[in-house]
Structure 1
Amino acid sequence: MSNWKTAAQDELAIVFAEAKAIIASFPAPLGVRGIRYLDKFNPLEANSTNNYICYSLPFWLQDAVFADAESCRRLSLANVFIMLYFFIQDDVMDSAEVHKDWNEQLALSNLFYLSFLNLYRSSFHPCSPFWDYFNTYITDWAVSVATERQVSKEPQNPLRFARKAGPLKLASTGLLLLTAQEALIKPVSEMVDHVLITLQMVDDWADWREDLAEGNENSLLAFLHAELQLAAGEQLTPEQINHALTVETRLDRFAEQALDRHERLLQLGIIQLPHLLAFHQALSQELVQAAQRLQQRKQLQLQGGFVSWLSAQT
């Protein structure tokens, strides 16, 4: 199996070193703050938050599309700044409290935005179709975050859960344009969307309690809402969710969706992207293992109850 995690490790060291150099040139105090923020997501730093697809995607495509290393590094670097920019936007929008450092954070995010815009300007002519895709992906993100607390008009369409991460597809789309393979943009984007859906599922499994409390859209909660056949607008309760997950084993069915999606990815066969497929398989297995852990915990609790009952009979 492809070692997606370490396949581009040397290249990522170059990319993050260049990102650090660019951020270090930001005016004070934003340079220091920016480097500190970057280190939180640098896969080469200890205890960082790993968002592999954000910056590895160009390298996962490189061999399949015959791209040169410099183009991959440049688009990976742009994706690093996209990641930093949108994560700050998410932090501010998701926070229920006003923080005194928001002014610096938002100012920093604008320098991140300017950084990836400059990288794209140096790679794509103003008349390039790249900019149409740029507008589309950014608009998809904006609509997604603006409506995530509303009742969905398309509850059965899992693609809506990928749109929030849509801007990272600028790396794959940009690389295909640079290698004159525009015909592959649609199928590759479809593959990436499938992966982003499952990535969101993994995140939503981890965050469902927080999302329930804050009223955020969550793919697991949407799945359980449909499974329990609740009326539109009817709210799930923590008790219903815990019962569905631990007693009714519905996390198994949720994980099956990711496994089914992986089978569809394998059958697409339009372009061979082993690292992307391996990454998706790892995500799918993460959900399967989470469901298995819940079942093991349930069995232990049942056994404990049985032992307690036997003790009471003696």
Structure 2
Amino acid sequence: MSQSEAFPTFDAACCQELRAAAERQLQAQAPQFAVQGRLLLHALSPDQWPAEWHLPWWLGQSLRLDEERWQALTVANLLGLAHIFLADRLNERPATVDDDSDLPLAEAFHQAALALLHDLFDDHPRFWQHYAQSMAQWRQAQRHADDPVPLTFDEWQQDGLRLCAWRGAPLKITAVGTLLLAHQDATIPRLSQTLDQMLIAQVLLDHLDDWRDDLAAGRFNAFALYAQRHPSRLAAQMPLASRVLAMLMTGQSRGYTALVDAHYAQALRGSEGLNCVGLQRFLAAQRLDAVQRCGQLVDAAARHFQRAIRASLQP
């Protein structure tokens, strides 16, 4: 089953319409960035960013919010996604690179999203409280991105899991807005906790997928840190990349993958109380995809070691 069949998604025409609306909003606020903005909006595809594209729609459908408003929230999400994407890219650039060329475009997207949100929520002070909280959490996660790496995975978890959720906190802005427009304020804590669990699982899974690239680039990787949790005497003498491969091949990564699954399971349980079929189906699909990706990584590690053994046996 493809992802598009596993949970509700927009068809191509609807995606084109929403993207065009985001382009018009940016054009109205910052016409000098229209061309650059269009290129970035087309790069941020719904396949790569499914929650950012669809969450206001899933929630809006379940709450019977009128189409005009959930569409406006989706457009605000796309503009906000572009802002966060550029800001994260600026934050992740090497310290030796002095290039702030993305900053004006990032701010243009930010102001375009804000203008649309003001149209929707000028008379909703509670929305702006949640907006400020989500942005503050995201900024704090950014500030801690270059903190010294903890010595152990258990130590990292004390603050690391919370910061994983805060990295994606801007996603909650329009989600909370959808509930406020539908007069479902009491549901906000459950939705926020559900999305936090989803975001933690997604970041942990990204670390599992990206461990090779992160180690090669000298970036922190939670899965690589987990590989140092219970090293044998032999493993302690191996390069870290080899230790990660050995952990995958010998099944010692199960504790990490179980942690990913546990956070998806918590998100799924939380979504059941929201009565949002789209979000429930998305989380179920994400959880299944995580299991499959973990299995693929184990298989890839086994193939790597088989090739290494064959190479060592060749005369």
Contact 1:169–1:189 under 8 Å retained in 2? yes
Q: Which moved more, 1:90-99 or 1:149-158?
A: 149-158
Separation in structure 1 between the aligned mates of residue 30 and residue 163 of structure 2, nearest angstrom: 38
Q: Using the TM superposition, give the Cα deviation of residue 286 of structure 1 relative to its aligned residue in structure 2, in angstroms.
A: 3.0
SS of alignment partner, residue 281 of structure 1: helix
Equivalent residue in structure 2 for 1:54, among 52, 55, 63: 52
Equivalent residue in structure 2 for 1:129, among 122, 126, 149: 126
Contact 1:3–1:275 under 8 Å retained in 2? no
Tell me the residue number matched to 2:223: 220
Separation in structure 2 between the aligned mates of residue 214 and residue 15 of structure 1, nearest angstrom: 36
Q: Which moved more, 1:1-10 or 1:108-117?
A: 1-10
Tell me the residue number matched to 1:171: 174
One-letter code aligned to 2:70: C
Equivalent residue in structure 1 for 2:287, among 281, 284, 288: 284
Change (3 A) 1:275 1:302: same
Tell me the residue number matched to 1:254: 256
Residues 56-103 of structure 1, C-alpha deviations (whole Å, 9 max, x = no match): 111111232221111111111111111100111111121225366x33
Residues 224-257 of structure 1, C-alpha deviations (whole Å, 9 max, x = no match): 344559xxxxxx9333323222x33334432222
One-letter code aligned to 2:67: A
Give aligned-pair identity as a percent.
22
Separation in structure 1 between the aligned mates of residue 230 and residue 77 of structure 2, nearest angstrom: 36
Tell me the residue number matched to 2:236: none
Q: Which moved more, 1:29-38 or 1:262-271?
A: 262-271
Contact 2:53–2:74 under 8 Å retained in 1? yes
Contact 1:56–1:76 under 8 Å retained in 2? yes
Separation in structure 2 between the aligned mates of residue 270 and residue 295 of structure 1, nearest angstrom: 35
The reply on whether 1:12 has 2:10 as its aligned counterpart is no
Change (3 A) 1:295 1:88: closer
Residues 197-234 of structure 1, C-alpha deviations (whole Å, 9 max, x = no match): 122123222322343455545442454344559xxxxx
Equivalent residue in structure 1 for 2:208, among 205, 208, 225: 205
Q: Using the TM superposition, give the Cα deviation of residue 120 of structure 1 relative to its aligned residue in structure 2, in angstroms.
A: 1.0
Separation in structure 2 between the aligned mates of residue 29 and residue 125 of structure 1, nearest angstrom: 27
Change (3 A) 1:310 1:75: closer
Tell me the residue number matched to 2:241: 238
Contact 1:155–1:222 under 8 Å retained in 2? no
One-letter code aligned to 1:248: T
Tell me the residue number matched to 1:271: 274
Tell me the residue number matched to 2:144: 147
Equivalent residue in structure 2 for 1:106, among 103, 106, 116: 103
Unaligned ranges ≥5, structure 1: 44-48, 230-235
Contact 1:149–1:216 under 8 Å retained in 2? no
Separation in structure 2 between the aligned mates of residue 211 and residue 302 of structure 1, nearest angstrom: 21
Separation in structure 2 between the aligned mates of residue 218 and residue 301 of structure 1, nearest angstrom: 20
RMSD: 3.2
Q: Using the TM superposition, give the Cα deviation of residue 194 of structure 1 relative to its aligned residue in structure 2, in angstroms.
A: 1.4
The reply on whether 1:119 has 2:122 as its aligned counterpart is no
What pairs up with 1:75-114 in 2 under 5 angstroms? 75-96=73-94, 98=97, 102-103=100-101, 105-114=102-111
Separation in structure 2 between the aligned mates of residue 283 and residue 35 of structure 1, nearest angstrom: 29
Contact 2:268–2:284 under 8 Å retained in 1? no
Contact 2:53–2:78 under 8 Å retained in 1? yes
Q: Using the TM superposition, give the Cα deviation of residue 30 of structure 1 relative to its aligned residue in structure 2, in angstroms.
A: 1.9
Contact 2:58–2:276 under 8 Å retained in 1? yes
Q: Using the TM superposition, give the Cα deviation of residue 20 of structure 1 relative to its aligned residue in structure 2, in angstroms.
A: 1.9
Change (3 A) 1:310 1:143: closer
Equivalent residue in structure 1 for 2:183, among 180, 183, 196: 180
SS of alignment partner, residue 207 of structure 2: helix
User: Structure 2 length as normaliser, TM-score?
Assistant: 0.81
Equivalent residue in structure 1 for 2:162, among 136, 159, 164: 159
Contact 2:134–2:170 under 8 Å retained in 1? yes
Tell me the residue number matched to 1:233: none
SS of alignment partner, residue 125 of structure 2: coil
Change (3 A) 1:293 1:135: same
Unaligned ranges ≥5, structure 2: 233-238
Equivalent residue in structure 1 for 2:296, among 289, 293, 303: 293
